[in-house]
Homo-oligomer: A and B are copies of this chain.
Amino acid sequence: MAAERAASLDALPGYRWLNNGQSAFSGEPLDLYRRLDALFTGWAAEERAQEYVFPALIPARELAKLDYFRSFPQLVTFPAVLDADPRNLEGFGGRDPMDPAGEVHLTTMAPIRDVLTPVACYHFYIQFQGENLERPRCVTTLATCFRREEYYAPLERQWSFSMREIVCLGTADEVKAFLARCQERVDRFLKRIGLPIEWTAATDPFFNPSRNPKYLMQKLDPVKTEMVFERRLAIGSVNFHRNYFGEAFGITAAGEAAFSGCVAFGLERWMKAVMTQFGTRPQGWPSLVDRPE
């Protein structure tokens, strides 16, 4: 089944699956990618969310504040560079740089202090750390996220992929109201275009979940609701973080650690769901414009 789908995408003009777990787009697939992001940014605009563009590399010490390395060591991709000593560089460049399997023959590496973005919204908590919010703050970004997985599949599970997030920081009530509005908006739109999804409680993919108190807390009190297509593909999620990020980054609202929540859309997975449901050609796609009522 997965192989058939991969094959049908493989023959799709404008789509290319790279065997290092990533996709390249042009033509109609790129058009779909952009229409979807325009849909999501339209929803962001209804929340008056300010747009940000963030870089790919995040200081590791920021992610350490979230206990990220203990919770998701299996997912992390680090940016690694060679030690800059000219003799080391010469040693690397001077011999055959790879073996027949495509593995790079490294010489001494410089210390690693950064991580490739694993989750789009982390950038905001880092950006706003130490701030006191006088009113709810709503923001949005489209980020390339990197997650190492055990296997990759076209548009469904990629080493790097695109994630649009709309994020709200404020009091618990403000964040809950934001999430409810967003979920209702998405749900109404999906019903209207006829893309069937089920809203399903979920947990984050913790390493050694049974030993992680954060996983246990998520099981006891679900805070992540996924939009699941065909009972198997989560194309997005609505997440209530409680005051977890506010506490970790010293962000306050109304005199207390700020609450936060986000709605996240996986662009490639939305593409997969739309093309599975409506076909690979634009003639079959529904209008992906959602005008506020």
Contacts and interface: CB of A to CB of B under 8 A. Distances in A.
A81 B89 contact: no
Given A57-B160, A78-B104, 17 more contacts: A16-B127, A20-B113, A22-B57, A25-B53, A26-B50, A55-B159, A70-B94, A74-B82, A79-B79, A79-B146, A81-B148, A84-B148, A89-B207, A90-B207, A93-B208, A101-B111, A104-B112
Contacts of A127: 16, 24
A18 B114 CA distance: 12
A59 B22 CA distance: 11
6 contacts: A18-B59, A19-B59, A74-B82, A77-B81, A81-B148, A106-B112
Nearest to A22: B55
A55 B18 contact: yes
A73 interface: yes
Interface of A: 16, 18-27, 30, 33, 50-61, 64, 69-71, 73-74, 76-82, 84, 89-90, 92-94, 97-98, 101-104, 106, 109, 111-114, 116, 123, 127, 139, 144, 146, 148, 150, 158-160, 207-208
Contacts of A144: 55-56, 144
B61 A98 contact: yes
A48 B99 CA distance: 40
A143 B50 CA distance: 23
Given A26-B53, A50-B27, A208-B90, A78 B80 contact: yes
Contacts of A22: 55-57
A51 B30 contact: yes
Prevailing SS type, chain A contact patch: mixed
B98 A103 contact: no
Contacts of A30: 51-53
A92 B115 CA distance: 15
Nearest to A81: B148
A75 to B, nearest CB: 9
B55 A160 contact: yes
A98 B79 CA distance: 15
Most buried by B among A16, A57, A208: A57
A144 B56 CA distance: 8
B54 A24 contact: yes
Contacts of A56: 22, 56, 116, 144, 146, 160
A284 to B, nearest CB: 22
A173 B257 CA distance: 64
Of all A-B residue pairs in the complex, the 5 with the closest CB atoms, nearest first, are A22-B55, A69-B97, A80-B80, A73-B93, A103-B111
A23 B146 contact: no
Contacts of A53: 24-26, 30, 33
A27 B78 CA distance: 30
